[in-house]
Amino acid sequence: AGLIGNTLLQQLRQQKEYLRQEQHINLNLVALANSKKMRFELDGLDIDQDKDALLATGETSEVTQFIARMKELNLPNSIFVDCTASNIAIGHYEDILNASISIATPNKIANSDSFAQYQKLKQAALIHGVKFLYETNVGAGLPVINTLKDLQNSGDKIHKIEGVLSGTLSYIFNTFDGTTPFSEVVKEAKAKGFTEPDPRDDLNGMDVARKILILAREVGWPLEPDQVQVENILPGPCLLANSVDDFFIALEQSNDVFQQKIQEAQQAGKKLCFIAQLDNGEAKVKLESVDQSHPFYTLRGSDNMIAFTTERYKNQPLVIRGPGAGADVTAAGVFAEVISVRRFLGQSSSKFNLKSPQKP
């Protein structure tokens, strides 16, 4: 199973007795899948076993068959948990919601595709009285989307959203102070596991763009992916490099570009931050210099920070800060959404049936 899915299983295992005794909730894991194996047990899989043992007796995994079987069972209070980062199950989301099965997922793909697709999924959940939950799409376990919804539902008006929405880029630019070449800072981030295997997948800003796009849609602005303006911070040779090794060679040769940026920022008493901004219906992602009066100036390590400027929080924005990546906090966010379905259903004691495809 994938890292987030496996961590979620561990958290379910640790909390099952507390939930049963203190919250009167019995979570019943009836299906589990990765890219190789899938297994169904109507009476529930034994989550005291690890994921390898659970899938040892499974059959060959096929997502269409998994979803068809899930729908055939027609179990009440069912939740489909997609812990993958791929599009393997995305095309089935609408079908799942139409079958009155809720979805909880950290996967950003569905919500950052076309606006029409985003609307279809929201509408399907509404029509069929189920939940499509994706708090962990932005900020992992941080309460970003729920806070935004609470502000709007209580009548507040969103004027501007700013965010450092990438733990990777937060770490890189919080670490880069000019004493170490930029290429070495990126190498260190990669060695510590902060970046994707190819750091360009982080440095190109597209993951941040998907996150600010999702927030824009939650506010009510019907933006398409190509309407998010993304600043390219990498010189051409870095983008055109044929391999990761070649990329680092090109990045080393471009160190002067980033050295100039950090020197200009420091001379002005500022620091560099890779910021996503939503203002007046426009979404932008860019590298900016911020001074000590800006909330992002205090960022350290790989923390995320989101600032909401609203009608009520006009003079001083509402700020959310904390770890914006990591299996523990992401899985915990998904877990919280599973529990929230019980509150949505309004039942004091329920047996919940989870179905979860996961990455290998």
Q: CATH number of the domain that 319 lies in?
A: 3.30.360.10
Global pTM value: 0.92
State which H helix or E strand residue 245 sits in.
Answer: helix 244-253
Domain that holds residue 126: 3-140+326-357
Do 275 and 158 have their domain in common? yes
Backbone angles phi, psi at 195, to 5 degrees: -100, 170
pLDDT over 70 (residue 10): yes
Residue 306: closest CA among 66, 89, 137: 137
Do 93 and 235 have their domain in common? no
State which H helix or E strand residue 306 sits in.
Answer: strand 303-310
284 among known catalytic residues: no
Do 291 and 350 have their domain in common? no
Number of domains in the chain: 2
264-282 pLDDT, tens digit per residue, is: 999 999 999 999 999 999 9
Residue 212: closest CA among 224, 203, 200: 224
24-37 pLDDT, tens digit per residue, is: 888 899 999 999 99
Instruction: Tell me the percentage of the chain whose pLDDT exceeds 90.
Output: 87
* pLDDT reported for residue 1: 56
Do 128 and 239 have their domain in common? no
Cα 64 off chain centre by: 24
46-93 pLDDT, tens digit per residue, is: 999 988 899 999 999 999 999 999 999 989 889 999 999 999 999 999
pLDDT over 60 (residue 343): yes
* pLDDT reported for residue 344: 81
**Residue 346's pLDDT band (cuts 50, 70, 90):** low
Do 193 and 257 have their domain in common? yes
Backbone angles phi, psi at 304, to 5 degrees: -95, 155
| Range of weakest confidence among 25-29, 95-99, 179-183, 203-207 | 25-29
How far apart CA 44 and CA 33 sit, in angstroms, is 14
Residue with tokens 């939940």: 131
Residue 359: closest CA among 52, 63, 140, 83: 83
Residue with the bigger pLDDT between 82 and 341: it is 82
| Range of weakest confidence among 62-66, 106-110, 342-346 | 342-346
**Residue 355's pLDDT band (cuts 50, 70, 90):** low
Do 309 and 331 have their domain in common? no
Do 161 and 304 have their domain in common? yes
Do 126 and 207 have their domain in common? no
Do 151 and 85 have their domain in common? no
Q: Are 102 and 133 in contact (CB under 8 A)?
A: yes
Q: What is the mean pLDDT of residues 218-242?
A: 97
Q: What is the mean pLDDT of residues 243-261?
A: 98
DSSP E strand boundaries for 111-211 = 132-133, 158-164
Residue 21, domain CATH: 3.40.50.720
What's 61's DSSP letter?
Answer: P
Do 157 and 275 have their domain in common? yes
Do 61 and 201 have their domain in common? no
pLDDT over 80 (residue 347): no
How far apart CA 206 and CA 190 sit, in angstroms, is 18
pLDDT over 90 (residue 212): yes
Residue 124 makes CB contacts below 8 A (sequence gap 6+) with: 94, 97, 98, 132
pLDDT over 70 (residue 350): no
* pLDDT reported for residue 326: 86
How far apart CA 144 and CA 51 sit, in angstroms, is 30
Q: What is the mean pLDDT of residues 318-345?
A: 90
Mean of pLDDT over the chain = 93
How far apart CA 80 and CA 93 sit, in angstroms, is 9
How far apart CA 310 and CA 158 sit, in angstroms, is 4
* pLDDT reported for residue 348: 40
How far apart CA 313 and CA 304 sit, in angstroms, is 20
Q: What is the mean pLDDT of residues 334-347?
A: 82
Do 207 and 219 have their domain in common? yes
Tokens of 62: 């096929």
Catalytic residue among 211, 261, 271, 355: 211
Alpha-carbon distances, residue 282 vs 203, 221, 228, 305, 347 (angstroms) = 21, 9, 7, 19, 41
**Residue 360's pLDDT band (cuts 50, 70, 90):** very low
**Residue 324's pLDDT band (cuts 50, 70, 90):** confident
199: burial class by Cβ within 10 Å (0-12, 13-18, 19+)?
buried
